[in-house]
Amino acid sequence: MGYSSVPDISAMSIVDQNNVWSVSNNGRIFKMIPGTITDVKEMHIALPQIIYLYQNYPNPFNPTTTIKYSIPVETRHASSLQHITLKVYDILGKEVATLVNEEKAPGNYEVKFDGANLSSGVYFYRLQSGSFTQTKKFVLMK
Protein backbone atom coordinates (compact mmCIF):
# COMPACT_ATOMS: atom_id res chain seq x y z
CA MET A 1 0.00 0.00 0.00
CA GLY A 2 1.54 3.33 -1.03
CA TYR A 3 1.21 6.70 0.65
CA SER A 4 1.48 10.09 -0.98
CA SER A 5 2.74 11.62 2.26
CA VAL A 6 4.48 10.48 5.40
CA PRO A 7 2.05 9.28 8.13
CA ASP A 8 1.97 11.33 11.34
CA ILE A 9 4.39 9.21 13.39
CA SER A 10 4.25 9.48 17.19
CA ALA A 11 6.79 6.78 18.12
CA MET A 12 9.41 4.75 16.30
CA SER A 13 11.61 1.77 17.14
CA ILE A 14 14.64 0.97 14.99
CA VAL A 15 15.62 -2.65 15.53
CA ASP A 16 18.22 -2.74 12.73
CA GLN A 17 18.59 -1.44 9.16
CA ASN A 18 15.88 -3.81 7.92
CA ASN A 19 13.41 -3.58 10.80
CA VAL A 20 11.83 -0.24 11.64
CA TRP A 21 8.48 -0.14 13.45
CA SER A 22 6.41 2.99 14.00
CA VAL A 23 3.09 4.04 15.51
CA SER A 24 0.97 6.80 13.99
CA ASN A 25 -1.04 9.26 16.06
CA ASN A 26 -4.25 7.55 14.97
CA GLY A 27 -3.11 4.21 16.39
CA ARG A 28 -1.93 2.43 13.24
CA ILE A 29 1.30 0.41 13.44
CA PHE A 30 3.66 0.26 10.50
CA LYS A 31 6.64 -1.86 9.55
CA MET A 32 8.89 0.19 7.32
CA ILE A 33 10.87 -1.62 4.67
CA PRO A 34 14.10 -0.03 3.36
CA GLY A 35 13.41 2.23 0.40
CA THR A 36 10.87 4.96 -0.15
CA ILE A 37 7.73 5.78 1.77
CA THR A 38 5.74 3.72 -0.75
CA ASP A 39 7.31 0.63 0.84
CA VAL A 40 5.48 1.21 4.14
CA LYS A 41 3.06 -1.60 4.95
CA GLU A 42 0.13 -0.95 7.23
CA MET A 43 -0.69 -3.52 9.86
CA HIS A 44 -4.08 -3.37 11.54
CA ILE A 45 -3.17 -4.03 15.17
CA ALA A 46 -5.70 -2.66 17.61
CA LEU A 47 -4.23 -0.35 20.23
CA PRO A 48 -6.00 0.17 23.55
CA GLN A 49 -8.56 2.95 23.69
CA ILE A 50 -8.30 3.44 27.48
CA ILE A 51 -5.60 3.05 30.09
CA TYR A 52 -6.31 -0.06 32.12
CA LEU A 53 -4.76 -2.12 34.89
CA TYR A 54 -5.71 -5.80 34.84
CA GLN A 55 -5.98 -8.16 37.79
CA ASN A 56 -2.75 -10.09 38.25
CA TYR A 57 -2.56 -13.79 37.48
CA PRO A 58 -2.28 -16.04 39.37
CA ASN A 59 -3.82 -14.59 42.50
CA PRO A 60 -3.01 -15.72 45.18
CA PHE A 61 0.56 -16.30 44.00
CA ASN A 62 3.78 -17.92 45.25
CA PRO A 63 6.26 -16.37 44.61
CA THR A 64 5.68 -14.86 41.11
CA THR A 65 2.73 -13.34 39.34
CA THR A 66 2.06 -11.42 36.10
CA ILE A 67 0.57 -7.93 36.01
CA LYS A 68 -0.81 -6.64 32.69
CA TYR A 69 -1.71 -3.07 31.74
CA SER A 70 -2.73 -1.12 28.62
CA ILE A 71 -1.61 2.33 27.49
CA PRO A 72 -3.87 4.08 24.93
CA VAL A 73 -2.96 6.50 22.15
CA GLU A 74 -3.04 10.10 23.42
CA THR A 75 -4.16 12.08 20.36
CA ARG A 76 -4.07 15.45 22.12
CA HIS A 77 -0.28 15.33 22.53
CA ALA A 78 2.41 15.51 19.86
CA SER A 79 3.98 12.38 21.33
CA SER A 80 2.00 9.38 22.48
CA LEU A 81 4.70 8.45 25.00
CA GLN A 82 3.34 8.58 28.53
CA HIS A 83 5.20 8.42 31.82
CA ILE A 84 4.06 5.27 33.61
CA THR A 85 4.73 4.10 37.15
CA LEU A 86 3.73 0.70 38.49
CA LYS A 87 4.53 0.17 42.17
CA VAL A 88 3.80 -2.45 44.81
CA TYR A 89 2.81 -1.52 48.39
CA ASP A 90 2.32 -3.53 51.56
CA ILE A 91 -0.85 -3.43 53.67
CA LEU A 92 0.48 -0.39 55.59
CA GLY A 93 1.07 1.58 52.39
CA LYS A 94 4.86 1.22 52.40
CA GLU A 95 6.34 0.94 48.89
CA VAL A 96 8.05 -2.46 48.51
CA ALA A 97 8.86 -2.45 44.78
CA THR A 98 8.90 -0.25 41.68
CA LEU A 99 8.14 -2.38 38.63
CA VAL A 100 7.87 0.37 35.99
CA ASN A 101 9.02 4.00 36.05
CA GLU A 102 9.51 5.13 32.45
CA GLU A 103 8.03 6.58 29.27
CA LYS A 104 5.90 4.03 27.42
CA ALA A 105 4.40 4.02 23.92
CA PRO A 106 0.78 2.94 23.39
CA GLY A 107 0.27 -0.80 23.67
CA ASN A 108 -0.33 -3.74 25.94
CA TYR A 109 2.32 -4.61 28.50
CA GLU A 110 2.97 -7.21 31.15
CA VAL A 111 5.49 -7.36 33.95
CA LYS A 112 6.47 -10.21 36.26
CA PHE A 113 6.54 -9.57 40.00
CA ASP A 114 8.64 -11.78 42.24
CA GLY A 115 7.61 -11.71 45.90
CA ALA A 116 10.19 -14.26 47.06
CA ASN A 117 11.78 -11.75 49.46
CA LEU A 118 8.42 -10.69 50.99
CA SER A 119 6.26 -12.19 53.73
CA SER A 120 2.92 -13.81 53.01
CA GLY A 121 0.10 -11.31 53.04
CA VAL A 122 -2.04 -8.79 51.16
CA TYR A 123 -0.28 -6.32 48.86
CA PHE A 124 -1.44 -3.65 46.42
CA TYR A 125 -0.12 -2.64 43.02
CA ARG A 126 -0.80 0.83 41.60
CA LEU A 127 -0.56 2.09 38.01
CA GLN A 128 -0.16 5.85 37.56
CA SER A 129 -0.02 7.99 34.42
CA GLY A 130 -0.70 11.71 34.65
CA SER A 131 -3.93 12.13 36.62
CA PHE A 132 -4.89 8.46 36.14
CA THR A 133 -4.42 6.11 39.10
CA GLN A 134 -5.73 2.57 39.50
CA THR A 135 -4.95 0.15 42.32
CA LYS A 136 -5.54 -3.60 42.62
CA LYS A 137 -5.11 -6.02 45.52
CA PHE A 138 -3.19 -9.30 45.39
CA VAL A 139 -2.21 -11.98 47.87
CA LEU A 140 1.18 -13.62 48.38
CA MET A 141 0.81 -17.08 49.97
CA LYS A 142 3.95 -18.99 50.87
Please report, for the chain, the start and end positions of each structural domain, with discontinuous segments joined by +.
Answer: 9-43, 52-140
Find out whether 89 and 124 touch, Cβ atoms under 8 Å: yes
Structure confidence at residue 130 as a pLDDT band (50, 70, 90):
confident
Beta carbons of 16 and 28 less than 8 angstroms apart: no
In the chain, what is the straight-line distance between the N-terminal and C-terminal CA atoms, in Å? 54
pLDDT at 98: 97
DSSP 39: G
List residues bridging with 23 in a β-sheet.
11, 29
What is the DSSP-derived secondary structure letter of residue 37? Answer: G
pLDDT in tens, 54-98: 999 999 999 999 999 988 876 555 457 889 999 999 999 999 999
CATH number (1.20.1260.10, 3.40.190.10, 3.40.50.970, 2.60.40.1930) of 52-140 reads 2.60.40.1930
